[in-house]
């Protein structure tokens, strides 16, 4: 984002985050991707900057930043590594949900460790048979004396196996959204296990596994909010999560654009720098313009979420769809501008393309984002 559009505090926040991304993420991103290494030590360094509780209130141990501030953070982090920035967005979504919907005891128990990233968190909504149709989930939480007994399988869970805390959506009532409740499950709870680390196209610097709940017994104080509120809690969490992933797409794509500028300035063909070819300059101009438009929409949605605007879910869906589609398209064009070099791992472009592709799927597919936007447009007509 152009610095003139930022407040002094936001400029300082962006500069500090950029220093962290350049010093601790970018130099290692290709190795982490190759080795499928989840750099927990680096995440804890990020927590030292307040990035483990970006949206958590200061009285709960967090940074108390606005959504408008947060999208700057995640865009900047993603310029160093979209995979790690994406995981941090998910961790922060869970921390915010506990701060917003948990009781005093739950906040006191979990938030200091989450904000310090001594404990890492995962969000467990998707199931093998319930992805886009999240209200159809089948993981069951049954009464067990004063507590609960959870049984089911969650699919595509970021950080699973390496994280300590799992925010799990399970069915406590009848069919549909009203029968879902939210629970906190600890990695050490008996009956919890994990599938193998999935082999993925991108996001290799964070593990993705099934979370298997085989009769996990939980005390009553593991319920977040009230019984039957889980789906509303999940969707409200996803409004912010969608902005985080949208911002990560912007950061990854901006990095790809910057690399393209440097590459075209360094390469010559037919007696001139590639950067001086008008056709290529026009392509760069389009890429920059599309990213600026996407960034403006993400900021608009973030500001709407900050002020609890009733249109915020609609705008978050719109921003997520547009920014993730735009980010991937810009990264893909950046690869093309690099020619054969873009296809080589060492240039880092193909990793950005692979990492950004999944952003069009997670936190609600972009097809579902269109459903939300269309519903917002047409609901007045019945």
Closest alpha carbon to 62 in 78, 49, 75: 49
Task: Give the residue from 254, 357, 358, 377 showing the smallest Cα distance to 317.
Answer: 377
CA distance 22 to 380: 47
Euclidean distance between CA atoms 331 and 189, whole angstroms: 41
Distance CA 31, CA 51 (A): 23
Please tell me the distance from the alpha carbon of residue 111 to that of residue 278, in angstroms, as a whole number. 53
The 3-state secondary structure of the chain, one letter per residue? CCHHHCCHHHHHHHHHHHHHHHHHHHHHHHHHHHHCCCCHHHHHHHHCCCCCCCCCCHHHCCCCCCHHHHHHHHHHHHCCCHHHHHHHHHHHHHHHHHHHHCCHHHHHHHHHHHHCCCCCEEEECCECCECCCHHHCCCEEEEECCEEEEEEEEEEEECCCCCCEEEEEEECCCCCHHHEEEEEEECCCCCEEECCCCCCCCCCCCCEEEEEEEEEEECHHHEECCCCCHHHHHHHHHHHHHHHHHHHHHHHHHHHHHHHHHHHHHCEECCEEHHHCHHHHHHHHHHHHHHHHHHHHHHHHHHHHHCCCCCHHHHHHHHHHHHHHHHHHHHHHHHHHCHHHHHCHHHCHHHHHHHHHHHHCCCCCHHHHHHHHHHHHHHHHC
Active site residues: 363
Residue 296 CB partners (closer than 8 Å, separation 6+): none
A 10 A CB-CB count for 23 gives 11
């Amino acid at each position: 984002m152009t610095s003139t559009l930022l407040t002094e505090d936001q400029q300082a926040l962006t500069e500090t985050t950029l220093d962290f991304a350049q010093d601790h993420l970018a130099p290692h991103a290709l190795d982490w991707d190759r080795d499928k290494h989840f750099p927990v030590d680096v995440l804890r360094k990020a927590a030292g900057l307040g990035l483990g509780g970006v949206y958590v209130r200061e009285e709960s141990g967090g940074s108390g930043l606005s959504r408008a501030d947060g999208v700057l953070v995640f865009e900047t982090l993603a310029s160093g590594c979209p995979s790690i920035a994406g995981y941090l967005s998910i961790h922060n979504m869970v921390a915010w949900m506990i701060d917003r919907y948990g009781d005093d005891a739950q906040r006191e128990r979990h938030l200091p460790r989450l904000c310090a990233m001594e404990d890492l968190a995962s969000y467990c909504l998707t199931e093998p048979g319930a992805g886009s149709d999240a209200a159809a989930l089948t993981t069951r939480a049954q009464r067990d004396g004063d507590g609960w007994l959870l049984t089911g399988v969650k699919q595509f869970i970021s950080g699973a196996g390496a994280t300590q805390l799992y925010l799990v959506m399970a069915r406590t009532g009848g069919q549909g959204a009203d029968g879902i409740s939210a629970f906190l499950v600890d990695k050490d709870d008996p009956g919890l296990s994990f599938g193998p680390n999935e082999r993925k196209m991108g996001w290799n610097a964070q593990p993705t596994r099934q979370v298997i709940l085989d009769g996990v017994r939980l005390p009553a104080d593991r319920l977040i909010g009230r019984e039957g509120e889980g789906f509303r809690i999940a969707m409200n969490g996803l409004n912010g999560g969608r902005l985080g992933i949208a911002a990560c797409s912007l950061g990854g794509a901006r990095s790809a654009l910057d690399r393209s500028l440097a590459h075209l300035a360094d390469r010559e063909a037919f007696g001139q720098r590639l950067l001086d070819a008008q056709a290529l300059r026009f392509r760069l101009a389009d890429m920059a313009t599309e990213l600026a438009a996407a960034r403006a929409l993400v900021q608009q949605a973030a500001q709407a979420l900050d002020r609890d605007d009733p249109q915020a879910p609609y705008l978050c869906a719109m921003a997520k769809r547009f920014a993730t589609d735009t980010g991937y398209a810009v990264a893909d064009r950046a690869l093309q501008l690099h020619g054969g070099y873009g296809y080589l791992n060492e240039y880092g472009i193909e990793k950005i393309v692979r990492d950004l592709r999944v952003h069009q799927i997670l936190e609600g597919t972009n097809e579902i984002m269109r459903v939300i936007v269309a519903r917002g447009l047409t609901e007045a007509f019945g």
